[in-house]
Amino acid sequence: MKQIHALIIIMLLAFSACAQQAESEIKAEAPTNINYTFELIVPDLIIPWGMTFLNDGSMLITEKSGEIIHFKNGVKTLVEGVPEIYVRGQGGLLDIKTHPDYENNGWIYFTYASDKGDEEGGNTALMRAKLDGNILVEKQLLYKAGPNTKRGQHFGSRIAFDNAGYLYFSIGERGERDVNPQDITRDCGKIYRLKDDGTVPSDNPFVGTENAKTAIFSYGHRNPQGMVKNPFTGDIWTNEHGPQGGDEINIIAKGKNYGWPVISYGINYSGTAFTDITSKEGMEQPLFYWVPSIAPSGMAFVSSDIYPDWKGNVLVGSLKFEYLERLVLENNKVVKREKLLEGTGRVRNVIEGPEGYIYVAIEGKGIFKIIPNK
């Protein structure tokens, strides 16, 4: 019996190795022509998780430690009135995003780890507020995941709006892979969809399902730390951390199950297998997966004409290998990978600004602007 068990383990590891080899056929390469420069525009940041632009061209930047920075005319000012942040492990102050109609309504949305609740520990929350000078006012807690836990893993979290004005945000499965992601009656390991005021849309997929968390839009996720609206199609795209191998890019669809941890292209950090399948009926396949893992962070589409050679490409930060990855797509299939900013540091976030330039947040350094050479 022991020999059979050992043989099964060897076969599973070999299967994972085959998955690695298949996906590794597309290698991440250094750029052949370096036709851009990088300008450090916001220096001296530690872990700049989220960033968003205001109408006057200034930026709001979240530091994971719990600070919101208002960067305007070269000056950094701390925003007052930030709620209490539960800083533990991967948890802290996370993403930040202005409302699509910010010019008229002034709403700013952000996700953070919160200890509010009856249990010890914390979990991911979503809040909106307005900015009066440099003070957050009219704060409204829109969602708080539960239960709290002292685990430090997998808080998520990113925010995106779709073309209809619905708000999407991600929460990781908090290290409870066998409990949370496949259970729609529990928070965590999910992508959520709300109206901009925090109410649940009546057409969310699990409205009317007994005991379900009705804010859930999709489930079976591990730890989505990248999310962006595809400006060409309006779809919501995410990337998420796998275990050892199996980081994924997914296009989020209503009510779909993305498989974690039943199916995966990764293995345990110890090198052992936790599943023997990479596909199953009723579970979505990723658009793309990485083996080995790159530890993906922020994610952006290039839609402006400022970078003509990159238009339509996807940019993804790599925390593990410390570069910005450019993914060239053809018919929703990755055909080329390129390393940008290699060796600069852990890329935490990347966004396309309102004027079309790409901004990259790098831990321990700050925010860089990518400027094409003339």
The residues assigned a catalytic role are 154
**Strand order across the 48-53 sheet:** 48-53, 59-63, 67-72, 75-78
| Contact criterion met (CB below 8 Å) for 129 and 197 | no
Q: What is the greatest pairwise CA distance in the chain?
A: 70
DSSP 22: H
> Shortest CA distance to 157 belongs to which of 147, 143, 176?
143
> Rounded to whole angstroms, how far apart are CA atoms 12 and 276?
6
Q: Which residues pair with 300 in a beta bridge?
A: 315
CB atoms within 10 A of CB 9: 14
> What's the number of CA atoms in the CB half-sphere (13 Å) around residue 75?
5
Q: Is 3 helix (H, G, I), strand (E, B) or coil?
A: helix
Q: How far apart are CA 15 and CA 21, in angstroms?
A: 10
The distance of Cα 372 from the centroid of its chain, to the nearest Å, equals 26
Per-residue buried b or exposed e for 217-245, using 16+ beta carbons within 10 Å of the residue's own CB: bbbbbbbbbbbbbbeeeeebbbbbbbbeb
Q: Would you call 188 exposed, middle or buried from its count of C-beta atoms within 10 A (0-12, 13-18, 19+)?
A: buried
